[in-house]
Copies of this chain bind each other. A is one copy, B any other.
Amino acid sequence: MAEEIFQNETIKQILAHYKKIWAIGHAQSVLGWDMEVNMPKRAIQERSVAQGELSVLSQSFMLEPKFVELVEKAEGLELNDYERGVVRVLKRDIKIAKAFPPEFVREMSEVRSKATMAWAEAKEKNDYKKFEPYLDKIMELAKKAADYLGYEEYPYDALLDLFEEGLTTREVDRVFEKLEKDLKPLLDKILEEGRVPREHPLENEKYDQNAMEKVNLEVLRLFRYPLGERGRLDVSPHPFTIGFGIHDVRITTRYEGFDFRRTLLAVIHEFGHALYELQTDERFMFSPIAGGVSLGIHESQSRFWENIIGRSIEFVELIYPILRENLPFMANYTQEDLYNYINIVRPDFIRTEADVVTYNFHVLLRYKLEKLMVNEGVKASELPELWNEEMERLLGIRPKTYREGILQDIHWAHGTIGYFPTYTLGTLLSAQIASYMRKDIPDFSEKVRKGEFEEIKGWLREKVHKYGSMYEPKELLKRSFGEGINPDYFIAYVKEKYLG
């Protein structure tokens, strides 16, 4: 019998009530997954109403006075770490649920829907004006949200905290200043030296979807992702991972029919997210501390598998035979071709297709503009010019259309402001974690080459995954690694990988 981790009577009462909220969350996740993966087109109206009703229900259970009182009472009690985690997460959830008045939630949801439709049309027609008024409205609501939530220094802090508990503008500034100072010269040097390829004919090779799916499944089998037991691989317009519980964590990818590294690296990336959820302590089931703690920590896991493992020479060696067996055109390419193709560095317009190095400048650009809008009141009308200037300054290229510029991402239309920085934090952290891991597993590279991932997975479980959300991100890092996010590791990794 597993040791009982929740002992306190008040905590037990809290968890009993929380089960309803958990069940609604479970249902919302399944409905969301189904919408992306399976749902027939015209089902959207009924599905949206169902999701809306479930959100309202969940919020009302979260704010039930009896429940809020129990959580407040629990704060003053002597608790173990697990129990303290439960109280921390719920206090935060209650605070967020309480912060927004119902009219605001309704307005936000309406503006979000309309803005998303306007964005889609604007992007299709390459007509920024169609989106501009909605972007102003979204930013106005974001500032309002920040006011409702409260902040110490900048309104943007309140928004950052929604995605990365405890993160501040000041900290993100420090990280990006460092990147500009140290990574920018590295990028220039990589491009100048020309040793790293800027393009490869494999980018244009067309693949058969069934064959590529076989490759993806083989790779997931190498990782021992529990397909059919505790997970699935499906197809959706944008790859994502979703956990319905500890024993049901599903990933998706997409098949574009060419440039196979996109679907392959997406699968490896999503596997990294899934592993985090799958390796959470099983005793956290049905509790608010099950599942990953923040977007940044989550992204560190996906990037670890995508960049550190997936783009390594040893991994290329491991999977080259699988690709040879399933993709006929691979007969014309060597293992070295595959490595070069997967490690191209090239300034380009689209963030989601960017390489490991330039990716962070795409994020920096968005972060700067978000800050300008939220903290400085810059208007949507000024953005395209700011975007283009910053793009030129950072990557030396200037988009010719809105579609490959400011209209490329859906995030702002969705109203998720403060989300982008977590992509870079995760990327930096993945290199940092890899460095710690190599100390504990000196034959790390050899293990990857042989496809022996169990020790690597076990290490990640012990250092990060098993804790779920019981510690806040900064505390988790301090406990497991003794330091917070430090860009030096990533810079050293880039230097060694591309200029070493």
Q: Which of B20, B41, B247 meets A53, CB within 8 Å?
A: B20
Would A34 and B30 count as touching, CB distance under 8 A? yes
| A387 → chain B closest CB, angstroms | 37
CA distance A200 to B251 in the complex (A): 45
| A475 → chain B closest CB, angstroms | 27
Quick check: is A70 within 8 A (CB to CB) of the other chain?
no
Q: Which chain B residues border A50 with CB–CB below 8 Å?
A: 22-23, 26-27, 245
Would B230 and A49 count as touching, CB distance under 8 A? no
Would B53 and A19 count as touching, CB distance under 8 A? yes
Quick check: is A332 within 8 A (CB to CB) of the other chain?
no
| A7 → chain B closest CB, angstroms | 21
Binary interface profile of A, 313-341, with partner B (CB < 8 Å = 1, else 0)? 00000000000000000000000000000
- Please name the residue on chain B nearest to A39 by beta carbon: B248
| A19 → chain B closest CB, angstroms | 6
Would B54 and A27 count as touching, CB distance under 8 A? yes
Quick check: is A40 within 8 A (CB to CB) of the other chain?
yes
Q: Which of B30, B45, B229, B250 meets A30, CB within 8 Å?
A: B30
Q: Which chain B residues border A226 with CB–CB below 8 Å?
A: 40, 42
Quick check: is A232 within 8 A (CB to CB) of the other chain?
yes
Binary interface profile of A, 203-234, with partner B (CB < 8 Å = 1, else 0)? 00000000000000000000000111111100
A285 in contact with B46 given A27-B27, A39-B248, A53-B20 (CB within 8 Å) = yes
Binary interface profile of A, 30-47, with partner B (CB < 8 Å = 1, else 0)? 110010001111110111
CA distance A27 to B29 in the complex (A): 10
- Please name the residue on chain B nearest to A21 by beta carbon: B53
Quick check: is A100 within 8 A (CB to CB) of the other chain?
no
- Please name the residue on chain B nearest to A246 by beta carbon: B46
CA distance A305 to B285 in the complex (A): 46
Q: Which chain B residues border A96 with CB–CB below 8 Å?
A: none
Q: Which chain B residues border A38 with CB–CB below 8 Å?
A: 232
Quick check: is A453 within 8 A (CB to CB) of the other chain?
no
Q: Which chain B residues border A228 with CB–CB below 8 Å?
A: 40-41
Would A248 and B20 count as touching, CB distance under 8 A? no
| A412 → chain B closest CB, angstroms | 29
CA distance A322 to B191 in the complex (A): 58
Q: Which of A23-80 contact B (CB under 8 A)?
A: 23-24, 26-28, 30-31, 34, 38-43, 45-47, 49-50, 52-54, 57
Q: Which chain B residues border A231 with CB–CB below 8 Å?
A: 40
Quick check: is A154 within 8 A (CB to CB) of the other chain?
no
Q: Which chain B residues border A148 with CB–CB below 8 Å?
A: none
Quick check: is A402 within 8 A (CB to CB) of the other chain?
no
Q: Which chain B residues border A227 with CB–CB below 8 Å?
A: 40
Would B229 and A46 count as touching, CB distance under 8 A? no
Quick check: is A244 within 8 A (CB to CB) of the other chain?
yes
Quick check: is A286 within 8 A (CB to CB) of the other chain?
yes
Would A244 and B30 count as touching, CB distance under 8 A? no
CA distance A28 to B30 in the complex (A): 10
Extra contacts besides A22-B53, A27-B31, A47-B245 (19): CB < 8 Å: A19-B49, A20-B57, A22-B50, A23-B57, A26-B46, A27-B28, A27-B30, A27-B54, A30-B30, A39-B248, A40-B232, A41-B228, A42-B229, A43-B244, A43-B248, A45-B247, A46-B245, A46-B248, A46-B286
Residues of A that sit less than 8 Å from B by CB: 19-20, 22-24, 26-28, 30-31, 34, 38-43, 45-47, 49-50, 52-54, 57, 226-232, 244-248, 250, 285-286
Question: Can you list the 5 inter-chain pairs with the closest CB atoms, starting with the nearest?
Answer: A46-B245, A23-B53, A43-B248, A27-B27, A26-B50
